[in-house]
Amino acid sequence: MITLDYGPDHDKIDPFDFTVTRASQDVANDSGEGHYLHPIVRHYQGGELVATHHVTENLENEWNRPVHVDALTAFFTKQL
């Protein structure tokens, strides 16, 4: 299942406040920390959630850079 979701407490953070610590859009390991809109891929097996991958957020909502594609490819490779 693939959804576009916001991270936790996104509504409590001013998106224009540049003093707020944000997940780097260049580092896939920070992707689960994103507050803003980003794809989340969930792998279900037998109706049970077995794995989740948060695609690193991107200011322009473009998730086609190597940091996004490589991490997603690694997730699919591990799951399938």
Nearest to 67 by CA among 36, 31, 28, 29: 28
40 phi and psi angles, rounded to 5 deg: -125, 125
Q: Which residue has the higher pLDDT, 49 or 25?
A: 49
Q: Where are the beta strands (DSSP E) in the chain?
A: 2-5, 38-45, 48-54
- Which two tokens mark 74? 């690694």
CA angle 13/15/19 to nearest 5° reads 75
Per-residue pLDDT tens over the stretch 13-25: 777 777 877 666 7
pTM for the structure as a whole:
0.80
